[in-house]
Amino acid sequence: MRKILLILSLLIVCAASADAQYVARFKSRLAERSASGARVDVAEDDSAADAVRQSDMRYRPLSVKGYRVVIFFDNGQYASDKARAIKSSFEHKYPHVNAYLVYESPYFKVSVGDCLSMEEAVILMNEIGGDFPTAFPKNEEISLTELTDVRSRRNTTAEQAEGQAAAR
């Protein structure tokens, strides 16, 4: 959990500095003299700058470097159909793990999981290895919304399993 908070803090600081660079560049362009000799002076209230920065941060998808397990990739004639079928099969067998179908030219790829470490990806790979023997871990950018979605899905699945066990 500490690792996630540290990563989030670093991402927020980086995003804020990028916004500051954009605003500074915009202000300097405004303040340049035009061909007619007119001059523009820019005065900015601190609270306005904070509001713009916060607004920009709301719409920027934050992501972290992580890992996913690739269970399929192909560029053959029916690769798209095969990828959809494999993704559907995986989702049926492992409903608690997110699955993604992407086209990275020239391959259709199905990757699964939202792992923060290589160790977590290897554990997932071993868990699904019986059904997907050619699976391998791969570096991926994982958005924080995907990361929090899978964590809540795992908790919900665990709660459902506990409820079913208690009902028996």
CA dist 114 and 124 (Å) reads 10
What integer pLDDT is reported at residue 73 of this predicted model?
93
Q: What pTM value is reported for the model?
A: 0.56
The domains of the chain are located at 2-59, 63-159
Place domain 63-159 in its CATH homologous superfamily: Sporulation related repeat (3.30.70.1070)
Going by pLDDT thresholds of 50, 70 and 90, the confidence category of residue 63 is: confident
Q: If pLDDT is split at 50, 70 and 90, which confidence band does 130 have?
A: very high
pLDDT for 13: 46
Over 50: is that where the pLDDT of 51 sits? yes
Confidence at residue 21, expressed as pLDDT on a 0 to 100 scale: 56
| Backbone Cα Rg of the chain | 23
The per-residue pLDDT for range 96-112, each reduced to its tens digit, is: 999 999 998 999 999 99
